[in-house]
Structure 1
Amino acid sequence: MQKRKMDTRCMATLAMLCGVLLVMGMTGIGFIPLPVIKATTMHIPVILGAVLLGPAAGAALGGVFGLCSIWANTTAPGLLAFAFSPFMTTEGLPGVLKSLWIALGCRIALGVIAGWLWRLTKKTLKEDYLALPVTAAVSTICHTILVMGSIYLLLAQQYAQAKNVAVTAVFGLVMGTVTASGIPEAIAAAVLVTVIGKALLHLTERMKKR
């Protein structure tokens, strides 16, 4: 009976976080347009879900994040929409697969990384107020590197054409984007995941004792 209650609560939490992601993604508040790329706050519910429910739930939430990213870059395309939407590519099937990896694969990986990183940091750092910000910041940085690194490795030529620069300049531009969007996203995640996550973990512990 107790296990069934916990399963129901986990499913309810997962559904709630999926709802939050969908609202953020469909209304546009989860994506912040920058000159080159859309910065995001969508990673925060994914990390929270991975912390509360584990890597599998984190992967599922990452998938929702990815689908919202495809939607946002298809309905309101930016300069790099071709990297995040299979409907915006001009490369045929190879371009579709590349954009699906960047939009979906990297976001699913974010949830998995956050889930396992939380387990590791919780075991080594012990205290939630230390483990939560470390998990959030490192997961976010890993996600940014995965996304921008994939764009560099898979779509450097198209990136150069979109920016009207030489291919040799792409690495510097990618690193600039990692710094300009990745660091603020990591700081925001560290603060918000710590504050919200601590409260939700406390609530979860109280519910387990009932």
Structure 2
Amino acid sequence: MNILNKTRSMVLAAVFAAIIVILALTPFGLIPLGFMNATIIHVPVIIGAIVLGPKYGGFLGGIFGLASLWKNTYMPNPTSFVFSPFIKVGEYGGNFGSLVICMVPRILIGIVAYYVFRGVLKIWKGKSKAALAAAGAAGALTNTLLVMNLIYLFFGKEYGMAAKGLTDGVYGVIIGIIFVQGVPEAIVSAILTTAITQALFKVMKA
């Protein structure tokens, strides 16, 4: 990579990072679908990974994780303890597992999305739209599946009580969230990733 390309990549990464922080800390990171609000904070992570590569994708995912950590620490809600080891909500407090939940899935968003994009392109040559849509959906599902299952692993009972007042059937709640929230978010992510990345590729080639 020559100096010009490296500089351009760093500038683009900084722009994507700024967008992630803005989306994470403001209501702009949510799209109302009528029955729910779809999170789109992972979309710039996915697009950044596709455009800049998996290393930048992991970096941008880390920015997403840090923004989430900050928000859950300083703007907590009843279940923020699963994302921040620095707070206690009622009788429930975060721990090292909170950092794993907050950071690991977000770092993997861009990495998974990049390799899904490349994999689909390799299998279906010329099908860039399909590859972009698959990458968008895969990145979103990586976040949802890992976050929710790690929450169950580290804080199953505590999360059930804090979120729904449940002591039993917590994994059923987790599965419900994955389908009710995760699937629509994956569809929205696939659409946005395809549209925005295609436009960005055209601008970069101009």
- With normalisation by structure 1, the TM-score equals 0.86
1:39 shift after superposition: 5.3
Q: Give the Cα–Cα distance (whole angstroms) in 2 for the partners of residues 63 and 11 of structure 1.
A: 15
After superposition, give the CA deviation of every residue in 1:85-105 in whole Å (9 maximum; x if it has no partner): 12224677xx42111111111
Alignment-mate amino acid for residue 165 of structure 1: L
Partner residue of 1:114? Answer: 113
Matched, 1:194 2:200: no
Cα RMSD after superposing both structures: 2.2
Q: Give the Cα–Cα distance (whole angstroms) in 2 for the partners of residues 131 and 191 of structure 1.
A: 12
Show the 5 A alignment for 1:52-201: 52-89=51-88, 95-126=94-125, 127-162=127-162, 163-166=164-167, 168-201=168-201
Alignment-mate amino acid for residue 69 of structure 2: I
Q: Which runs of 5+ in 1 are unaligned?
A: none
Moved over 6 A (4+): none
Alignment-mate amino acid for residue 171 of structure 2: F
Q: Which runs of 5+ in 2 are unaligned?
A: none
1:29 shift after superposition: 2.5
Contact 1:28–1:72 (CA<8 Å) still a contact in 2? Answer: no
Contact 2:65–2:107 (CA<8 Å) still a contact in 1? Answer: yes
1:31 shift after superposition: 5.3
Alignment-mate amino acid for residue 147 of structure 1: V
Partner residue of 1:19? Answer: 18
Contact 2:81–2:92 (CA<8 Å) still a contact in 1? Answer: no
Contact 1:137–1:190 (CA<8 Å) still a contact in 2? Answer: yes
Contact 1:61–1:111 (CA<8 Å) still a contact in 2? Answer: yes
1:125 shift after superposition: 2.2
- With normalisation by structure 2, the TM-score equals 0.88
Q: Give the Cα–Cα distance (whole angstroms) in 1 for the partners of residues 106 and 185 of structure 2.
A: 14
Please identify, of 172-181 and 155-164, the stretch whose mean Cα deviation from structure 2 is larger: 155-164
Q: Give the Cα–Cα distance (whole angstroms) in 2 for the partners of residues 141 and 154 of structure 1.
A: 19
Alignment-mate amino acid for residue 150 of structure 1: L
Alignment-mate amino acid for residue 15 of structure 2: M
Q: Give the Cα–Cα distance (whole angstroms) in 1 for the partners of residues 73 and 27 of structure 2.
A: 12
Aligned-partner SS, 1:179: helix
Residues 1:39 and 1:129: Cα distance change in structure 2 (over 3 Å): closer
Aligned-partner SS, 1:78: coil
Q: Give the Cα–Cα distance (whole angstroms) in 1 for the partners of residues 42 and 49 of structure 2.
A: 11
Alignment-mate amino acid for residue 83 of structure 1: V
Aligned-partner SS, 2:28: coil
Residues 1:40 and 1:88: Cα distance change in structure 2 (over 3 Å): farther
